[in-house]
């Protein structure tokens, strides 16, 4: 299931919205429509704005602008990455912020430091610019005008976003800054483990604070921080285990394929007999798609004899080259939630690599490193 949809492009980078984003926009609007307090002597939140219609208009405008700022934060990372030749596949806005999907994560501490700092720097500049606009709006419209409140609230939130992201704990940007600092003094994997451990400790502290204060949002944020730190550590360990190993070293060269004219009854018998969960579909010696047990299960058993592989196979397939890194295959499978990749060379399939192949390689190499 595709849980995100593209809304446009900035700097040729696809900007995508996760379905959770549709929940958070009304929630943020409600939260800021319900609060009215003073921060540094200035009105923060729209709870005091009247009439109610105007209050909700400004609250929703604020919620949308806030997540535009989150997208700009991620574009800050992406701008630096692109300057150094790293391709950005997309930026996705989630419930708790944005994520830039990069072709690779640099193991250069100086470059990682620049990339990590770029996002909070953008948030800081937006925050200061919004506060400057507040002073302008205050002088023209008054401090209680909704436009002035909007600028002040947006400015404060961006400064909070900057400060939160600079906390030295994964998966925040500060955690990457910390890893970059550690990486100048120790191997990269050990630096990641140290930074991830600090991130998990911070998450546990945040979780206890949320538990004792009965703050559900704090506990949810703590959970996501803990999971993010754990995943970063795991991904780095896996990548290091596969370092130097190419797809051709661990792929299966002898690949059983099927044609699009095979019916699903015969495909079922083949899967039972050979204990495989999927097969590449070949037409004129070239891959035309892939058929898996998931495709098979979508067709009722009584209809399988009259249904052909070509009618149910997945045509938009992900492939990889034999000279590519095995770590790239793992990343591609994880991002696309698939279990195998056809290996293509000069337009022809020369093998297939599965998650099982990668797990076996990780087990073997982890013992030797």
Closest CA to 7 of 66, 80, 134, 93: 93
The domain limits of the chain are 4-166, 178-241, 247-368
The bridge status of strand 278-283 relative to strand 97-102 is unpaired
What CA dihedral angle connects 150, 154, 157 and 159, to 10 degrees?
A: -130
Marked catalytic residue, from 50, 74, 103, 261? 74
Active site (annotated) includes residue 363: no
- The domain defined by 247-368 folds into CBS-domain (3.10.580)
Name the nearest CA neighbour of 283 among 311, 259, 263, 255. Answer: 259
**What are the pLDDT tens digits along the chain (369 aa)?**
466 777 777 777 788 877 777 778 888 889 899 988 888 888 888 888 889 899 999 999 999 998 889 888 888 888 888 888 777 777 777 655 667 777 666 678 888 889 889 999 999 999 999 999 999 999 998 888 999 999 999 999 999 989 988 888 877 888 889 999 998 888 888 888 898 898 899 889 989 998 888 788 788 888 888 888 888 888 787 777 777 788 888 888 777 888 889 999 999 998 888 888 888 888 877 888 888 888 888 888 888 888 998 899 888 788 888 888 888 888 788 777 788 888 888 878 888 888 888 888 877 766 544
pLDDT in tens, 182-205: 988 888 888 888 988 988 998 899
C-alpha triplet 231, 27, 141: angle, nearest 5°: 120
* Cβ atoms of residues 237 and 195 within 8 Å: no
Give the model confidence (pLDDT) of 236-257 as tens digits. 877 777 777 888 888 887 778 8
């Amino acid at each position: 299931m595709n849980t995100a949809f593209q809304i446009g492009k900035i700097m040729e980078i696809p900007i995508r919205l996760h379905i959770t984003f549709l929940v958070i926009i009304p929630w943020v609007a409600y939260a800021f429509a319900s609060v009215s307090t003073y921060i540094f002597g200035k009105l923060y939140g729209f709870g005091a704005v009247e009439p109610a219609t105007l209050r909700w208009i400004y609250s929703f405008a604020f919620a949308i602008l806030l997540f535009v700022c989150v997208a700009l934060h991620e574009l800050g990372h992406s701008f630096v990455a692109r300057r150094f030749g790293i391709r950005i596949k997309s930026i996705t806005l989630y419930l708790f912020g944005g994520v830039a999907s990069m072709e690779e994560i640099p193991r250069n501490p100086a470059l990682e430091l620049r990339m990590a700092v770029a996002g909070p720097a953008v948030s800081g500049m937006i925050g200061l610019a919004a506060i400057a606009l507040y002073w302008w709006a205050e002088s023209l419209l008054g401090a209680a005008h909704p436009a002035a409140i909007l600028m002040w609230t947006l400015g404060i939130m961006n400064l909070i976003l900057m400060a939160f992201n600079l906390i030295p704990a994964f998966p925040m940007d500060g955690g990457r800054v910390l890893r970059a600092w550690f990486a100048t003094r120790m191997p990269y994997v050990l630096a990641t483990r140290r930074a991830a451990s600090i991130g998990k400790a911070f998450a546990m502290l945040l979780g206890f604070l949320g538990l004792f204060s009965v703050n559900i949002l704090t506990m949810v944020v703590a959970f996501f921080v803990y999971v993010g730190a754990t995943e970063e550590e795991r991904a780095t360990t896996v990548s290091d285990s596969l370092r130097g190993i190419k797809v051709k070293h661990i792929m299966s060269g002898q690949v059983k394929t099927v044609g699009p004219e095979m019916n699903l009854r015969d495909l079922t018998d083949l899967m039972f007999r050979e204990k495989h969960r999927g097969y590449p579909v070949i037409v004129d010696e070239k891959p035309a798609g892939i058929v898996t047990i998931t495709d098979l299960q979508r067709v009722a058993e009584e209809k399988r004899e009259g249904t052909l592989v070509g009618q149910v196979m997945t045509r938009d397939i992900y492939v990889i080259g034999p000279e590519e890194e095995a770590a790239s295959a793992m990343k591609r499978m994880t991002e696309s939630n698939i279990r195998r990749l056809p290996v293509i060379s000069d337009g022809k399939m020369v093998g297939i690599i599965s998650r099982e192949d990668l797990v076996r390689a990780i087990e073997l190499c982890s013992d030797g490193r």
